[in-house]
Amino acid sequence: MLTGVGIMLFTFVAMEGVAWVMHKYVLHGFLWFLHKSHHTRHTHAFELNDLFFAYYGTLAMLFFVFGSDPIDYRFWVGAGITLYGVAYFVIHDVFIHRRIRVFGKTSNVYLKALNMAHKVHHKEQGKHGSESFGMLWVSPRYFRSAYDIVKKKEQEKRGSVHY
């Protein structure tokens, strides 16, 4: 069981590398025609880019099916992919893109840095010229900027309070 949890956590971490490579070289490469929907403004709830969610869901499901009788490492790989998918949905779709509006403004430096990096990625709406292709890993430069913004807002709050 402990080995299985380790495999699941390793898979979760490895998925960030998989997501980065896929995003940079596949989504901004030969599958741009599907990913382009994510870089353009629209009013509908779904976009062609959501097909990638179905792809990873199917992949995880296959790992579950083929690794469940008896439970072996494939089951735990499927669990890691699923865990990453849940994190992706909550962070990327709900928090960053606000596809479901449950989060307000945050003063968390990590989440602010993550949001900043993603905004920089979307600044370029074409196939080429984007940066910050990961989902959970954030370049230290965004941490510095986010930290400065959070500290400035805290100082402004303290400075505006009068007793």
CB neighbour list of residue 76: distance below 8 Å, 6 or more residues apart: 4, 5, 7, 8, 11, 67
| Residue-by-residue pLDDT tens, the chain, 163 positions | 889 999 999 999 999 999 889 888 988 889 888 887 777 776 666 777 778 889 999 999 999 999 998 999 999 999 999 999 999 888 877 777 676 666 667 777 888 888 888 777 766 666 776 777 777 888 888 888 888 888 888 777 777 655 5
pLDDT at 57: 94
Considering only CA atoms, which of 106, 46, 56, 45 is closest in space to residue 78?
56
Rounded distance, CA 23 to CA 45, Å? 21
Structure tokens at 134: 């990961």
Looking up tokens 């994510």, which residue turns up?
Answer: 38
Write out the residue range of the structural domain in which residue 27 sits. 2-160
**pLDDT of res. 104:** 67
Q: How many domains does the chain have?
A: 1
Indicate the residue type of 113.
A
- What sign has the CA pseudo-torsion 64, 77, 18, 9? positive
